[in-house]
């Protein structure tokens, strides 16, 4: 690739260039973008002042063009430019001096947010940006991205689950736990793209991980334990959709596998494995996705929660609505067979920078795995770093 300043030298008479001298604006444009003001001045003066400044010999400029070191070459051009500038200062009414004064320096390009998906979300679908389904949202493989919500809240429940080992152990064999109704709950969740543009279809394969903990930090009587922690790895294929359904614009379809467990031994062990399908769509500022799942069966001897689908559900519908900088979301889980399931409502709002306030309401079954068959209503207040969108 030719060096820009060398192109200037090539355009001067006597150096094998064109007889016509390029305009000052044409020559200045590539240089102001690099914020090299002295180089810009040199470019303009060398090209446009040539007829009025014959004191500079063509061999001088050619010698500068042959310098291989960037800094030394710029210094060489600077020496010529400053000499021409002195000559122009003695001729303020010359056409070149008037032209240079009339052309203000171009503004440097504005800085862009470092996250391409964040930039793309301004002009493309939020769901497409979330799953990097377009060329302008693709951020490559193996980088960490937020997956689900990342938050910390103070939570109060109306019914602490003091007998989480039921129905596996008879009520008389173990004393009730002495749990507080208030605790701290936090979740962190991330994903990484394993494969991009699979089979040239625009689809991606992702690996996700979510961990959620419930901490009885205020309960000094039982040594402030972590009451329950759930671990949830998943792998999923996500492909773009371009159709519509009524007023909904279909954005993606997904298939995957998810494992969830609490990593505990009997009688408090809880786990299940599922395969799922998911489809996402948008209607203006409203995003929706629906995920039904099928539980992979376990043997009766190894199954710690064989009726979990009859409480937690067999699928979920999530809706997210953005109003300005406020985000409202609702997640509904259903068994499709009875009235159990859950309702989960959220509101997040700006506080400072990327930190947002967070209000969370849950009512139903399965707020955590240990509570899969325990109905309760809880309210939480805290902060959130990344939301659903």
261 is catalytic: yes
Q: For strands 182-198 and 203-215, give the pairing.
A: antiparallel
Cβ-contact 318, 388 below 8 angstroms: yes
- Residue of 23, 181, 196, 259 marked catalytic: 259
Cβ-contact 44, 71 below 8 angstroms: no
E strand map for 199-325:
203-215, 226-240, 244-245, 248-261, 271-283, 286-295, 315-323
Question: What sections of 174-330 are H helices per DSSP?
Answer: none
In this structure, what is the dihedral angle of CA atoms 277, 283, 286, 288, given to the nearest 10 degrees? -10
CA pair distance 13, 79, nearest whole angstrom? 20
CA pair distance 33, 35, nearest whole angstrom? 5
- Residue of 261, 299, 344, 378 marked catalytic: 261
213 is catalytic: no
- Annotated binding site, which residues? 223, 264, 269, 304
DSSP state of 15: T
DSSP string covering 113-166: -S-HHHHHTTTS-HHHHHHT-SGGG---SS-EEE-S-EEEEEEEESS--S-TTT
Q: Which pairs from 302-306 meet CB under 8 Å and 24+ separation?
A: 304/168, 304/266, 304/269, 304/270, 304/271, 305/270, 305/271, 305/272, 305/369, 305/372, 305/373
- Annotated binding site for Ca(2+), which residues? 223, 264, 269, 304
Cβ-contact 58, 14 below 8 angstroms: yes
The β-bridge partners of 229 are 213
Q: Is the peptide bond before 79 cis (omega within 30 degrees of 0)?
A: no
Residue 24: how many CB atoms within 10 A of its CB? 20
CA pair distance 140, 149, nearest whole angstrom? 22
Token pair for 372? 């899969």
Q: What are phi and psi for residue 164, nearest 5 degrees?
A: -70, -15
Give the catalytic positions in this structure. Answer: 259, 261
């Amino acid at each position: 690739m030719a060096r820009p300043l060398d192109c200037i030298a090539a355009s001067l008479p006597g150096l094998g260039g064109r007889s016509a001298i390029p305009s000052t604006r044409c020559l200045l444009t590539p240089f102001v973008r690099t914020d090299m003001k002295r180089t810009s001045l040199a470019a303009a003066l060398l090209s446009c002042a040539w007829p009025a400044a014959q004191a500079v010999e063509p061999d001088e400029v050619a010698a500068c063009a042959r310098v291989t070191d960037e800094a030394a070459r710029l210094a060489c051009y600077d020496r010529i430019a400053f000499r021409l500038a002195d000559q122009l200062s003695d001729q303020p009414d010359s056409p070149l001096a008037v032209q240079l004064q009339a052309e203000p320096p171009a503004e440097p390009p504005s800085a862009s947010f470092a996250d391409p998906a964040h930039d793309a979300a301004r002009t493309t679908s939020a769901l497409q940006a979330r799953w990097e389904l377009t060329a302008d949202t693709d951020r490559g493989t193996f980088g960490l991205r937020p997956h689900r919500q990342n938050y910390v809240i103070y939570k109060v429940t109306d019914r602490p689950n003091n007998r989480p080992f039921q129905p596996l152990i008879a009520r008389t064999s173990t004393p009730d736990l002495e749990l507080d109704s208030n605790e701290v709950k936090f979740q962190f969740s991330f994903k990484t793209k394993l494969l991009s543009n699979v089979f040239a279809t625009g689809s991606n394969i992702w690996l996700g991980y979510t961990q959620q903990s419930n901490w009885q930090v205020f309960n000094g009587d039982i040594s402030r334990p972590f009451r329950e922690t759930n671990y949830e790895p998943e792998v999923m294929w996500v492909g773009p959709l371009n159709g519509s359904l009524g007023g909904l614009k279909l954005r993606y379809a997904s298939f995957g596998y998810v494992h969830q467990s609490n990593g505990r031994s009997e009688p408090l062990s809880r786990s299940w494995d599922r395969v799922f399908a998911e489809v996402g769509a948008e209607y203006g500022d409203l995003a929706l996705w629906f995920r039904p799942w099928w539980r992979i069966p376990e043997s009766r001897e190894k199954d710690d929660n064989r009726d979990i689908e009859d409480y937690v559900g067999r699928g979920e519908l999530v809706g997210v609505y953005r109003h300005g900088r406020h985000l409202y979301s609702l997640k509904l889980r259903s068994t499709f067979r009875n009235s159990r399931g859950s309702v989960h409502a959220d509101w997040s709002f700006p506080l400072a920078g990327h930190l947002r306030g967070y209000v969370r309401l849950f009512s139903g079954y399965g707020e955590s795995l240990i509570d899969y068959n325990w109905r309760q209503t809880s309210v939480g207040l805290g902060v959130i770093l990344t939301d659903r969108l």
